[in-house]
A and B are shown apart, each in its own frame.
Chain A
């Protein structure tokens, strides 16, 4: 067993809102954040758009759409982070961020300029605006964190995997607090890539519904501060990870890896399957993912536990998804409600699961949140109440 680590602060910004309060209010009211795609793609692609202000002048050399989201998302966690830095020492606080694209949105524009004019924009710098290291350097400068800092980049499970690394650093005594984050900005590459894979939906996505027609992409940022001890609405109880070893982009058909990840999260915390009150599913909106994940949930947890996909609110947030949905899990525990699985009505009868199509007001003590990714990288996070 691992220790349970309190989440002493959390913040999310995405298509539902620029502050955690706005995000949670719209989730509670079952109002989608999806809207028209702002990027010039020649197909319909409803997207989750998140506005972020320009960087302060002191960080302007690191400018990219991802950098703006990453810095904007820090605002709400700054007071708790400042306390943690003072309490533990800056070198005892780590930073682990999940992202898939880092500064790719910036590089797309720079590369287009290069093609058009024969030269990169004068202020373009791969090392300051594109690379994973650039994102870390930006966040070190913006936060004062001086402990280990790294990016986990396992595609759509990235910021859920980040909790695994964070938990292990705390377990081993390497640090006393970890700021876990996830961030990704909308990119043409990701939109066109998913379009070419023929899984991008031209309509707002409908995960878990028999009317589903694929996924939407969203952008956003989320941070959670994990500490060795402290007060917060929830604790990280377990992190389960597995690899499918099956296919680059298709999940294992029986959901073997998904099941192994959930089982590992429960085992780590010695929590019985029957004690899970709610599952935040990965379910991005494809039939293959839904069937595979549903089998994994049904065979491990049974047919009665409420299962919800929140991708209909935010779109698939890629590297920001795991951390964002961890916050949705915490909100269920803190506030006692499970969001409607937006777009799931009419529910796919092939899925033998309890899928609420309206909000359920009920206490949640143990919540699982799943994130699965290209390459068969599976993570399941288990959260529980304060004690």
Chain B
């Protein structure tokens, strides 16, 4: 690929922990009350990354990836469907995949173009592709986020991984300070195993690789089902 390298200037990471099953409040109360875990996770990691990088969520383009989107909210709608058949208008309009992007945009009066993507195990790979493409063509900064809730036990009875969200605030150039991302690759895979239960957990691996402060090529899938990878390069003296 012919994409520019990008400096990582901020990171965000959130997973539920004992005593902290939901992220800290980041959205204004009128939005937070009705927000799903996915929306609140995206708000939390976005805020972490923006704070670390000294950027404003009012002007950043947002590229948000989620393999399954608002599946928990959709499950609530399915239960209503089989109950009295009357759906909650608020839940219905928040069941779209781009709810997290929309809530962030509304909360921060962010009017720049943003997008909401999904690609199974390749979700982190294509989110970085979209983000690096924007930086290559337009420069500036882009906030790349991946997040997924735990899959509903109703639909995936074998037991599932937990919720996870990660954010990467990227800037055109190679000055760091945290690391430089370069040489994003997607090898051709003629056949693929079925997608994993928590594709966006690979975001954790990338955050940890950047925080480790060494140079390495990082696989962007979780179970080998994704062929995407990116080189993380340490910035000397940063």
Residues from chain B with a CB closer than 8 A to the CB of A247 are 106
Q: Mark B74-88, 1 if CB is under 8 A from A, else 0.
A: 110110011001111
Q: Is B144 an interface residue (CB 8 A)?
A: no
A82 CA / B75 CA spacing, docked (Å): 39
**CB <8 Å contact, B137 and A171:** yes
Q: Is B46 an interface residue (CB 8 A)?
A: no
Q: Which of A91, A194, A243 contacts B114 (CB 8 A)?
A: A243
Q: Is A117 an interface residue (CB 8 A)?
A: no
**B79 to chain A: closest CB distance in Å?**
8
A137 CA / B194 CA spacing, docked (Å): 9
**CB <8 Å contact, B105 and A376:** yes
Q: Is B215 an interface residue (CB 8 A)?
A: no
**CB <8 Å contact, B129 and A148:** yes
A197 CA / B77 CA spacing, docked (Å): 14
**CB <8 Å contact, B110 and A110:** no
Residues 81-123 (chain B) with a chain A CB within 8 angstroms: 81-82, 85-89, 92-99, 101-103, 105-106, 108-123
Beyond A91-B188, A153-B97, whether A376 also contacts B117 by CB under 8 A is no
**CB <8 Å contact, A172 and B194:** no
**B100 to chain A: closest CB distance in Å?**
9
Residues from chain A with a CB closer than 8 A to the CB of B106 are 245-248, 375-376
Q: Which residue of B lies closest to A126 (CB)?
A: B155
Residues 115-173 (chain B) with a chain A CB within 8 angstroms: 115-123, 125-126, 129-130, 133-134, 136-137, 151, 154-157
A121 CA / B52 CA spacing, docked (Å): 47
A153 CA / B134 CA spacing, docked (Å): 18
Q: Mark A117-161, 1 if CB is under 8 A from B, else 0.
A: 000100011111011111011000000001111111111000001
Q: Which of A137, A188, A375 contacts B96 (CB 8 A)?
A: A375
Residues from chain B with a CB closer than 8 A to the CB of A161 are 115
Q: Is A7 an interface residue (CB 8 A)?
A: no
**CB <8 Å contact, A375 and B102:** yes
Beyond A132-B118, A243-B112, whether A104 also contacts B74 by CB under 8 A is yes
Q: Mark B25-36, 1 if CB is under 8 A from A, else 0.
A: 000000000000
Beyond A164-B115, A165-B115, A168-B134, whether A193 also contacts B87 by CB under 8 A is yes
Residues from chain B with a CB closer than 8 A to the CB of A169 are 129, 133
Give the interface size class of chain A: 35 or more
Residues from chain B with a CB closer than 8 A to the CB of A137 are 120, 192, 195
**CB <8 Å contact, B89 and A193:** yes
Q: Which residue of B lies closest to A43 (CB)?
A: B85
**B2 to chain A: closest CB distance in Å?**
4
A248 CA / B156 CA spacing, docked (Å): 30
**CB <8 Å contact, A133 and B154:** no
**CB <8 Å contact, B92 and A197:** yes
**B197 to chain A: closest CB distance in Å?**
8
**CB <8 Å contact, A168 and B137:** yes
Q: Is A257 an interface residue (CB 8 A)?
A: yes
Q: Mark A193-235, 1 if CB is under 8 A from B, else 0.
A: 1111110000000000000000000000000000000000000
Q: Which residue of A lies closest to B97 (CB)?
A: A153
Residues in chain B within 8 A of chain A (CB atoms): 1-3, 67-69, 74-75, 77-78, 81-82, 85-89, 92-99, 101-103, 105-106, 108-123, 125-126, 129-130, 133-134, 136-137, 151, 154-157, 186, 188-190, 192, 194-195, 199
- 15 CB contacts below 8 A, A to B, read A120-B157, A133-B67, A133-B123, A150-B119, A152-B115, A153-B97, A154-B98, A168-B130, A168-B133, A168-B137, A189-B74, A192-B92, A196-B86, A249-B89, A376-B106
